[in-house]
Amino acid sequence: MKRHHPWLSWPQLREGPMQLACHLCDTLQAAPRLREGDGAYCCVCGERLYRNRPHSLAHATGFSAAALIFMVLAHTFPFLTMTSGSISTRLTLMEAAHVLIRDNDPLVAAGVVFFTMVAPFILVAGMLYVAAPLRHGVALPGAMRVTRWLQWMEPWSMLEVFLLGLIVSLLKLGKMAEVEFGLGLWALGGLVLCTAAALGGIDKMELWDRLEITRKGEANQT
């Protein structure tokens, strides 16, 4: 079932010549295998159709594992601590959601929690769940469904926007009171970088080809 080509980085199930339709202009064109690092571009609109990213799954595994560790740190330690007189307040995401709910704004609280905690968690944990075993040709139960969730969650994970919000707040508060950086802020920076690296490095063609192969393999065994 697995077929290795001399310069290909992953096996592909081929039941005939591969074709691909550009997602912008729908032009049907042949999808040849590329050398590592090369990209294929649409002949009509010039949009990049796909790229062969070397070691895509290994990168995704490494970066999403690192992102998960950063995520734990970012939620454990405060991003900022503000002191005015004898009172000091700490900012963590849970705390912010709690205060918003207390101030009668549960919908905004739900939005903040979803965009900064739920969506990034599904993205990072889901990527690790799919990519790590798939490197060794194993798909854990529900891997295809998780991959679909990943695609849906991608636009709603807004950690980098939250980081910009933190910087803006810092500049706003700096003149009012004493504000200290917490470990959470650095962890959030690491989390944003690792999530971007994991997402940017993953090769969706390779991911789906490999998922398809593992499923065909399972079907053959039974």
Partner 1 sequence: MSLPPPAASQELASCHVCQKVSPIRLENCPRCGAHLHLRKPQSLERTWALLLSACALYVPANLMPIMTVSGLGGGEANTILSGVVAFWQMKAYPVAIVIFTASVLIPILKVAALVWLCLAASGRVWASPRALSRVYYITELLGRWSMVDVFVVAILVCLVRFGTLMTITPGPAALCFSGVVILTMFAAMSFDPRLIWDRHRADLADAPPP
Where along the sequence are the contacts to partner 1 (CB under 8 A)? 19-21, 23-29, 43-47, 79-80, 82, 84-85, 87, 89, 91, 95-97, 99-100, 103, 105, 107-109, 111-112, 115-116, 144, 147-148, 151, 155-156, 158, 161-162, 164-166, 168-169, 171-173, 175-176, 179, 204-205, 208, 211-212
Residue found by looking up tokens 């077929």 in the block = 3
Q: 138 touches which of partner 1, Zn ion, none (CB within 5 to 8 A by kind)?
A: none
Give least dist CB 156 to Zn ion, A.
Answer: 21
Paired sense of beta strands 48-51 and 80-84, if any: unpaired
Instruction: Give the binding site for Zn ion (CB under 5 A).
Output: 22, 24-25, 42, 44-45, 47
Q: Under 8 Å CB-to-CB from 208, ≥6 apart: which residues?
A: 147
φ and ψ of 101, to 5 deg = -65, -40
Which is nearer to partner 1, 73 or 110 (by Cβ)? 110
Q: Are 116 and 123 in contact (CB under 8 A)?
A: no
User: Between residues 6 and 141, which has the closer beta carbon with respect to partner 1?
Assistant: 141
Radius of gyration of the chain (CA): 22
Tokens encoding 47: 């949009």
148 binds, among Zn ion, partner 1, none (CB under 5 to 8 A by kind): partner 1
Among partner 1, Zn ion, none, the one that 221 touches (CB under a kind-dependent 5 to 8 A) is none
Q: How far apart are the first and last CA of the chain?
A: 15
30 contacts 17 by C-beta, under 8 angstroms: yes
- In the bound state with Zn ion, the residue whose beta carbon lies nearer, of 148 and 172, is 148
Identify which of residues 6 and 155 has a Cβ nearer to partner 1 in the complex. 155
Question: Shortest Cβ distance from residue 190 to partner 1 (Å)?
Answer: 19
Residue 28 touches which of partner 1, Zn ion, none (Cβ within 5-8 Å per kind): partner 1
Nearest to partner 1 of 66, 203 (CB atom): 203
Q: What is the closest distance, in whole angstroms, from the C-beta atom of residue 41 to Zn ion in the complex? A: 8
Q: Which is nearer to partner 1, 55 or 212 (CB)?
A: 212
The answer to whether 84 and 173 are in contact (CB under 8 A) is: no
Rounded CA separation 57/129 (Å) = 11
Show the tokens assigned to 42.
Answer: 């649409």
Alpha-carbon span 1 to 13, nearest angstrom = 7
